[in-house]
Structure 1
């Protein structure tokens, strides 16, 4: 199981490098990494287990965050109603954002990251809607349309695959500047 000590921290060059595409069929080790990243998200979202293993809760984890410069990420966005299945739960291999909305969106509380140990205040403006193409661990192609919070989470993880961290998007001159037509989520 991936623990907090296994998470690559800000300052490690792997977080600032463009990750390499994976080729199919994936190796057993690559598939196992995908499953372990999803397991981390599942365990971290369970309060009792997260406390037991000293995990910070996460909704996304990209391969560079576990030291692998490859284009894979796990995303687990729970439903607000805990009795319902997750809004989006997938292991994304070689994801590509095909289209994005003009309308921006940002989390009203700002973003955080398992790889960044400090709080970095400010709005992180992203696209409110995206169309995403990705492959599962078996190489099957999928296309998903995401909006609001799930779209923000996927864009955060997608940035990790391109060597970008969330705070790179914060306007340092006006950290809480709003944009015309932008939506604050949460």
Structure 2
């Protein structure tokens, strides 16, 4: 049985840091339907994100705020991630996805002006990370049911960041090495804020 259960509080020490080999491996696909252990691990990951965005809980447990976390970031070689995103209207969106795959994307791209952050990286990284403005993701939910999710803007960036993790890719792998602030021509002029 996994140590990551619904009753277990994930803390920053549980998050695998840059340099660990598992973060550069392609995560293994899960068999469906997911096991109870898989479900509990995903729910624990989601709870970490919720806790990390709650100022009181985050301060008490010294949690760095996050909007997404992949299974390999807590040492599990499983193709799944959780995301907890609050949009500009104050609405909360929570996702626990198994075997996610981008099946369609726009040609236009966007970026976050202050670069992206990562729970597994403790150092500052500067540069623009071009991401698709719109994506469609096929994945399976906690019940093993297939779903298709259409995303745009910040939500699309979060999903691309987490799916990259599952493929052994860090966000900084997308930054232009010669000129970190150079963007492809198909990036929208107005960056995400």
Aligned residue number for residue 133 of structure 1: 138
Q: For this pair of structures, how many residues does the alignment match?
A: 183
2:127 corresponds to which residue?
122
Match of 1:163 in 2: 168
Q: Deviations over 1:109-129 (max 9, x none)?
A: 100100011011000111110
Q: RMSD over aligned Cα, in angstroms?
A: 1.0
Q: How many angstroms apart in 2 are the aligned matches of 1:125 and 1:59?
A: 18
2:5 is aligned to none
Distance, in Å, in 1 between the alignment partners of 2:168 and 2:145 is 26
Say whether 1:47 aligns with 2:55: yes
Q: So what's the TM-score if we normalise by structure 1?
A: 0.95
The corresponding residue for 1:179 is 184
Rounded to whole Å, the distance in 1 between the matches of 2:174 and 2:186 is: 18
Residue 78 (1) aligns with residue 86 (2): yes
In 1, are the aligned partners of 2:71 and 2:81 still within 8 Å (CA)?
yes
Q: In structure 1, what is the equivalent of residue 155 of structure 2?
A: 150
Post-superposition CA distance 1:13-38 (Å, at most 9, x none): 00000000001222221111000000
**Whole-angstrom distance in 2 between the partners of 1:110 and 1:11:** 20
Determine whether 1:30 maps to 2:48.
no
TM superposition shift of 1:96? 0.9
**Contact 2:16–2:120 (CA under 8 A) maintained in structure 1:** yes
Structure-1 separation of matches of 2:161 and 2:153: 13
CA distance in 1 between counterparts of 2:45 and 2:88 reads 22
> Which of residues 97, 102, 110 in structure 1 aligns to 2:102?
97
Q: Give structure 2 stretches of 5+ with no counterpart.
A: 1-8
- 1:133-179 Cα offsets, whole Å, 9 max, x none, are 11101101111110110000000000000000111111121111133
Secondary structure of 1:133's counterpart equals strand
TM-score, length-scaled by structure 2: 0.92
Ranges in structure 1 where 5+ consecutive residues have no aligned partner: none
Cα distance in structure 2, aligned partners of 1:181 and 1:32: 40
| Cα separation, 2, equivalents of 1:10 and 1:181 | 30
